[in-house]
Structure 1
């Protein structure tokens, strides 16, 4: 029986090729998008879920209670030791400090091998590898990282540095300073982990990188790369630990600071998804993608139902004959389900091919490692099986019931009405649903694009164009002076400045401050910008009061921004000139000599913060150069040569500032590209359905069109006969989509402190674009029908 169902189904599809093509293509596009979204969402949900006891692993974070409560994933370096010594709730506790962009060299190698490791190195306590599951392939786990100047590296790094030679016992050098002997080889890190460091060094050697951070009394500072992980004992809850942690603040901080420094636990499973604490992607974005995938499948299924019910009239006599010959209603229903299953199967095959073709682009876009395997991936196989079953029954059930319910006498007489075949009311509702989904995606695309354009085009308060950031490997005054004098002599260089970072940067130093003779520190922090006297000129900052700092290598004067004046509640910017401010726990003091106009010192997701610009050569990490873009290539080549002459033992790299600022919105850019693609797919699927419906209507109204033309109807009249119905439906869809899209996208915009508001123009553009696309789709087919010779139309049966 089943074989017969499929044989008849195949014959019906061969007889209705256009109908089959539209349905297969629509479903294939929807299934392809669903597959890509499934593997992408699953990939991100899998991050760091391979660790044993992951439900008991937590990262300790710092909460700063000032004017507002802010969180930082880093903690004071001594915290881990305090937790281990003062409490008994943790089975294991481990501190780890990570540094990115480290130079690794191989002492004694023939070709003086040097490697710039973007993921850098990590100084870790041995228990780190008891808490997290990064298996050791070679070496003694009991002694790993207990010996000073030892190191463990991954297989990948071992092959990169030493080829096929055994890496155990080999020596690597970090930043041309300290040698480390390799005592262990780690299994390569899984792709789905946020711990990217592949070189681990003993905690004891942290003093070589940062003596202050390595001390047991460095409680008053937090470096974002300084983490503490705990494996809680069984039966111990997060709430129990967080109730005990305030005791640390009371014990290790002065009474006036204890309330401001608080510590909390972050579940390990939350790290990848917590954007506030450096997570890659929030779960709400994954759920949004999941809903888009569901919407696209629904849109494709709506096409199927629409076309199937519209085509029901043409199959009425077939159904009548089958019923007269004894076919049961259930047999007719399953016959149509088999046809739907066959279409869905072909759509699945094409969808898989499209997914395979698109996968490299998705991986490149997300810098991910997604894979589609129908051989070993049981989860994907189950997903596809469930998808095919769902699509088959969702698409086929209603049309199958409609067809199976025809009265045989009426069917054989050709008196089945549109109402009996599902009616226009159902199809209207389906078209409205389909285009409401499309318009929500279109409005979302426009809103995100507007915000991205706002971020790119807005005046940031400083010059970001033609600015090249060149990292300084060491803060050697003699070499820095040589570098500066040679680069500024280049004809393509306008100006340059030594600084910690650009005015807006992902890396920032924030500290407390005290103003003038006030008895207490302020309840807010200040962002320190270590920079020389050329900083204001090079970045085009605007002085609104006072003057620039004088040339100096050390702190003598401050230039602050307007926001500090506002936070201090001063009457005017002139009032702060000449006043002393103290920072870093009152260890650094100087007078304010100037005030600059506010500039954005973070992304548009954050408020403008108080800033102080000060000379401090030990804090310089970059040389920023403003170049003439007309001579960009020769200038960059000359800068690289000068840099290599100055620092021959290091590896040169540079970056344009506007590219670095664009990284603030990298995930937004990715989401925009995805939604653009999915919106385009939804519109295309909807247009396929519209084309099919108009084609069917044209076939049904062949004689009517002929009569109208004979009676003098113009082509425009006939085209409008087809179009007016769909214009009405699209406007209804827009009325449903607009408030829903506004609600969703207004919520998304709340993440931005500075944003482009949703105006009426966005909605007008969305409905205009939808109507134009629909008009082109409907117009093409309806014009073809209108141009048909009325003599032939009237002769048609």
Structure 2
């Protein structure tokens, strides 16, 4: 029986090649997107699930309760040691302090090779590798990081630095100042972990690298470099631990208004919790999953539409089979077999398309997703289940329609559209298809407009034609000033400033200020931007009142922004001029001499924060160089040459400020690319179905068109017969799509403190673009039918 079904299916598909091709293409495109989305979602859900006892691994994080609540994945440096000594909740406790973009120098023969490690170096307590399942291939886990100035490398790093030589006991220099000896080799870290560091130095070495973070007395603040992980003992709940954590605040920060609330974050939430810099919000995975589902539904709608439209052609076949004794179930399964054959062809092509599209997905998401059907049973099961689901979703309704034909009517050729579900059924399906496409189009337009708004809006400073050049490590102040002067003298350089961070920067130094000699610190935090006297002119920052700071190497004077004044509830910016300001628990003191107009110091996701700009030269990290773009290449080459001459043992690098700001919206830009791609695919699948359906309608109305033309009907009248049908469907789809699209995208925009308003133009553009695409799709077939010689069309009937 099955063999007979397949043989009939092959014959029917050979007779209807266009019908088969349209369905195979539509299913292949939608299923390939489904496969890629499944692989991507599965990859992200697998993050850090390979550790033993992962249900007991937690990161201690900080909630900072001030005028509002802010979140940090870091804790004070001494907290880990104190927690280990004071309580028995933790089976293992480990601190890890990571610094990015560090210079590694390795002696290879007579040559010294230099490497810039973007993921940096982590100073790690040995217990870290008892908590996490990062296997050690060489070395003793108990002793590899016990001594100062020792380190372990991943296989990849060892190969990069030492080639095929045995790296054990070899040395390399960190930041040109600390020599580390290799005592162990780690297995390369898997792709489904957020830890990417390839170099782990012993924790005692941290004190040499950064004395404040390496101290067990530095409770006064937190730095993003420092994290603390704990493996709880069996039976211990996070709530038990969190109940005792306030004791540290009372003991070590009793007078501070900057109240820390220490919480435990499960390891399986680290990848998804945006509050603590989780790189992938789970709602994005839900969005991708729904888009994949929409695409598959769109392809199935195509199939059902075309199958029911083709049903009349097969009415006599069904009538003969019923007269000869075929049962309704047999006819149903015959059509399911045909559908299954098309779906299998589509699934096979979909796997090929998924393999071809995978590199683009990995590039967009910076992931290492793989598609391996032999080793990934979950993906294999998903493809098999998807094939079966699509087969029955697409084939069941048309199969029931065909199997339900009355044999007498079928043989007499008296079946009508009503007998195959009628136009209303197909109209409903087309409306569904158009509605899905229009929701995606609305989403694409809103995201694109928000990204354009973020890029083109006035940020309150000039970000164009400005490059950021790092200040070399272990550089003294005299050397910094000398190089600044040399860069300023290069032809094409317009302005130069030295500072800790650009006006908008991911890195920030937040501090609790004390204003006007008040006995207590303010309830809000201020973002401290250490910068010289050229900072304002380099970035075009505007003074509201007062003057710029005078040149200095220490904090003597400072500038604040308008938000700082508002936080103090003062009526006028002039009121703060001349008032003293104290930072860092009294360590730094200065006088406010000016108020700067507010500028966006973070992404548009965040409110503008209170800011203090002051001359703390010990914190300078960058040269900001504004250049004339007319001779940009020559100027950039000259800056590199000048910098490298002064720092021959360092690696030169730079980046444009506007590119750095664009990194704020990396996730949004990825989502925009994906929605653009998937919207295009959804529209294309819809066009395939529309083309096939119009072709069928034209063939059904050939005689009607001929009669109308003989009776004087114009070409415009005939075109309108088809046009009015699809115009109504597009408008009806828009009635459903517009409110749904508005609700979804308005919810998405709430993640931004500064965002666009969804205007009526968005919806007009969505419906107009749908009309244009539909017109281009059906136009050729309709015009061809309208221009057909009526004599030929009537004869053909």
TM-score, scaled to structure 1: 0.99
Residue of structure 2 equivalent to 1:536: 536
Corresponding residue number in structure 1 for 2:525: 525
In structure 2, what is the equivalent of residue 443 of structure 1? 442
Aligned to 2:386: 387
Q: Which residue of 2 aligns with 1:11?
A: 11
For 1:214, the equivalent position in structure 2 comes to: 214
- Alignment coverage as a number of residue pairs: 796
Task: Check if 1:741 corresponds to 2:730.
Answer: no
Residues 623-632 or 237-246, more deviating: 237-246
Q: Deviations along 1:265-291, whole A, 9 cap, x unmatched?
A: 111111111122111110000010000
Cα distance between partner residues in 1 of 2:755 and 2:591:
35
Quote the Cα distance in structure 2 between the aligned partners of 1:183 and 1:746: 54
1:256 deviation in Å? 4.3
Q: Does 1:338 align with 2:324?
A: no
Match of 1:378 in 2: 377
Cα deviation digits, residues 715-749 of structure 1 (max 9, x gap): 11111101111111111111111111111111110
For 1:3-34, what per-residue CA distance to the aligned partner results, in whole angstroms no more than 9, with x for missing partners? 11111101100000111111111111101111
Which residue of 2 is the match for residue 307 of structure 1?
306
CA distance in 2, matches of 1:722, 1:482: 77
For residues 718 and 243 of structure 1, the distance between their equivalents in structure 2, rounded to whole angstroms, comes to: 78
Alpha-carbon RMSD across the aligned residues, in angstroms, is 1.0
- 2:85 is the alignment partner of 1:90: no
Matched residue SS, 1:272: coil
Equivalent residue, structure 2, for 1:657? 657
What does 1:435-514 correspond to in 2, within 5 Å? 435-474=434-473, 475-514=475-514
Q: Distance in 2 between matches of 1:466 and 1:163?
A: 40
For residue 586 of structure 1, report the CA deviation from its aligned partner.
2.2
Matches of residues 620-699 of structure 1 in structure 2 within 5 Å? 620-699=620-699
| Counterpart residue number, 2:42 | 42
Deviations for 1:25-68, whole angstroms, at most 9, x for unmatched residues? 11111011111111111111111111111111000111111011
C-alpha distance in structure 1 between counterparts of 2:714 and 2:109, whole Å = 86
1:783 aligned residue: 783
Q: Distance in 2 between matches of 1:716 and 1:685?
A: 28
Give per-residue Cα distances to partners, 1:225-283, cap 9 Å, x unaligned. 200000011111112221221122122221444x7111001111111111221111100
Q: Which residue of 2 aligns with 1:587?
A: 587
Q: Is the 8 A contact 1:482 1:646 kept in 2?
A: no
> How far apart in 1 are the matches of 2:262 and 2:654?
37
Offset, 1:514: 1.3
Q: Show the counterpart of 1:578.
A: 578
- 3-state secondary structure, aligned to 1:681: helix
Q: Do the aligned partners of 1:63 and 1:72 also contact (CA within 8 Å) in 2?
A: yes
* Distance (Å, rounded) in 1 between the aligned partners of 2:194 and 2:256: 36
* Partners of 1:512 and 1:147 in 2: CA distance: 36
SS at match of 1:626: strand
Cα distance between partner residues in 2 of 1:728 and 1:176: 72
CA separation in 2, counterparts of 1:766 and 1:324? 51
Shift of residue 353 of structure 1? 1.5
Could you say what secondary structure the match of 1:112 adopts?
Answer: strand
Which SS does the other structure have where 1:594 is aligned? strand
| Residue in 1 that maps onto 2:294 | 295
Distance 2:255 2:584 in 1: 17
Q: Aligned residue for 1:565?
A: 565
Report Cα offsets for 1:366-390 as digits up to 9, x if no partner.
Answer: 1111211222221111010000000
The structural deviation recorded for 1:517 is 3.5
Query: How far off its partner does 1:89 sit?
Result: 1.0
Q: In the alignment, is the contact (CA less than 8 A) between 1:74 and 1:224 conserved in 2? A: yes
**Counterparts of 1:131 and 1:252 in 2: how far apart (Å)?**
27
- What is the alpha-carbon distance in structure 2 between the residues aligned to residue 60 and residue 769 of structure 1? 50
Which has the higher mean CA deviation after the structures are superposed, 294-303 or 240-249? 240-249
- Contact between 2:495 and 2:538, CA under 8 Å: does it hold in 1? yes
CA offset digits 1:172-194 (Å, max 9, x no partner):
11001011111100001101111
Deviation at 1:364, TM superposition (A): 1.3
Q: Contact between 1:464 and 1:657, CA under 8 Å: does it hold in 2? A: yes
Task: Flag structure 1 segments of 5+ consecutive residues without an equivalent.
Answer: none
Q: Deviations over 1:400-453 (max 9, x none)?
A: 000000000000001111111111111011011111110110000000000000
The 1:521/1:761 distance shift into structure 2, 3 A limit, reads same
Q: Secondary structure at the match of 2:424?
A: helix
Aligned partners of 2:256 and 2:521 also within 8 Å = no
| Offset of residue 762 of structure 1 | 0.5
Q: Which residue of 2 aligns with 1:555?
A: 555
Determine the C-alpha separation between the residues in 1 that align with 2:713 and 2:218: 88
Deviation at 1:303, TM superposition (A): 0.2
Residue in 1 that maps onto 2:617: 617
Is the partner of 2:598 in helix, strand or coil?
A: coil
Q: Deviations over 1:456-509 (max 9, x none)?
A: 000000110001000012341222122111111111100100000100000000
Q: CA deviation at 1:788?
A: 1.1
Match of 2:274 in 1: 275
> What's the offset of the Cα at 1:660?
0.4
Give how far 1:108 is off. Answer: 6.4
State the partner residue of 1:750: 750
Structure 1 CA distance, aligned partners of 2:598 and 2:509? 18
Larger mean CA deviation between 131-140 and 213-222 belongs to: 213-222
The equivalent residue for 1:223 is 223
Distance 1:292 1:637 in 2: 46
Counterpart-to-counterpart distance in 2, 1:480 and 1:660? 23
* Shift in Å, 1:107: 4.0
SS of the counterpart of 2:292? Answer: helix
Question: What residue number does 1:265 align with?
Answer: 264
Deviations 1:141-180 (A, max 9, x none): 1112111111100111111001110000100110010111
- Corresponding residue of 2:252: 252
Structure 1 counterpart of 2:119: 119
- 1:241 equivalent in structure 2: 241
Shift of 1:109: 3.8
In 1, the alpha carbon distance for the partners of 2:611 and 2:434 equals 49
Deviation string 1:746-781 (CA, Å, 9 cap, x unpaired) is: 111001000011111111110111111111112221
Does the 8 Å CA contact 2:601/2:608 hold for their aligned counterparts?
A: yes
Q: Any residues of structure 2 matched to 1:31-110 within 5 Å, and which?
A: 31-107=31-107, 109-110=109-110
Instruction: Note the C-alpha offset of 1:698.
Output: 0.6
Decide which moves more: 608-617 or 473-482: 473-482
Separation (CA, whole Å) in 1 of partners of 2:766 and 2:261: 48
Normalised TM-score (structure 2): 0.99
Alignment of 1:429 with 2:431, yes or no, is no
Q: Deviations over 1:114-141 (max 9, x none)?
A: 1111111000111000001110000011
Rounded to whole Å, the distance in 2 between the matches of 1:56 and 1:758 is: 45
How far apart are the structure 2 equivalents of 1:586 and 1:742? 51
Contact 1:450 1:756 in 2 (8 A): yes
Match runs of 1:142-153 below 5 Å: 142-153=142-153
Q: Deviations over 1:190-213 (max 9, x none)?
A: 011111111111111111111011
